[in-house]
Homo-oligomer: A and B are copies of this chain.
């Protein structure tokens, strides 16, 4: 058990944005929401998963929708309270703690704000260890857990409870409502017991985010003249490409941001070309037409000078970036994991090969 205060929030937001793999929303918006709540209501207690009683009711809280819309709409004032009431009423039981469902600039921060405002602790765990675009794409689905009862509310005061036959149907129906509500909403889903949490969650992901954030922030101090090498050491990342953004194609469809970014190589990658496809999050990276990383491994773009992650909604022509590959949570590499979030789940007709193998292609 420890405390999250404003200085922790800065690092968590930065690290979670890297783990967002391009998605999860704009950390600037996320930080404003979390810092505002902590400043007003005080710091948040962070529980290690092992500290949670087995029968406690733990509820992930998140925003759902297209990251570009999240940034414009943000959250109103009553969503957390509404969601809390809906879930407590449904179970006839008080919520013991909130938790995030995924990493990312907004979805790592919103649970902190909710916990601060409602005076509840937060659990140091999530359901992805990164961000994914669809709500059934969580380790909890592997554990046979249901997304429903799922509570959804918008900033206008509309609210909906879903009870569906599969988590894919939850995604279908909640996505339709999200679109109708203007493209982003606040949700609670995968309410679970402490023992389910301990078995299936990605543990200590908030702490990992904070450590990554601190590493990015201080990389130049520890750089020994080579900050880029220091960055890859600190993040345990694979260096997939270094280039300048030459083209960004983007489409918002079904409350998702779909698109592709084309990079022209710079430095040691001069004369080569990379492409990164995304659906909210980055899905695949190719260098000169060869795949160098795919989901579920993390493909992250970071600024070549500051190493600050560049989310898919912030891609801009001319920006210089490094393409970084990070290993995903081990549960995603199992057969069941790949059935849920492997390349084919995103329309990419290829087998999954771990990034540490694919990355060898880069210099080939």
Contacts and interface: CB of A to CB of B under 8 A. Distances in A.
A164 interface: yes
Nearest to A171: B180
Contact of A177 (B156, B163, B176): B176
A341 B165 CA distance: 36
A54 interface: no
A169 B173 contact: no
A298 to B, nearest CB: 30
A235 interface: no
Interface residues of A, number: 19
A164 B153 CA distance: 9
Contacts of A181: 173
A162 B173 CA distance: 12
A172 interface: yes
A163 B82 CA distance: 11
Contacts of A162: 158-160
Interface string A172-197: 11011101110000000000000000
A161 B160 contact: yes
A157 interface: yes
B163 A160 contact: yes
Given A158-B163, A160-B160, 6 more contacts: A159-B163, A160-B162, A160-B173, A173-B177, A173-B181, A177-B177
A85 to B, nearest CB: 11
Nearest to A181: B173
A71 to B, nearest CB: 23
Nearest to A180: B176
Contacts of A157: 164-165
A156 B180 CA distance: 23
Q: Which of A165, A175, A180, A181 has the most CB of B within 10 A?
A: A180
Contact of A180 (B158, B160, B161, B172): B172
A3 B172 CA distance: 42
A175 B179 CA distance: 12
A159 B163 CA distance: 5
Contacts of A163: 158-160
A157 B164 CA distance: 7
A158 B158 CA distance: 20
Nearest to A170: B158
The 9 closest A-B pairs by CB, nearest first: A176-B176, A176-B180, A161-B161, A158-B164, A157-B165, A159-B163, A172-B180, A173-B177, A160-B162
A158 B147 CA distance: 12
B160 A169 contact: no
A293 to B, nearest CB: 33
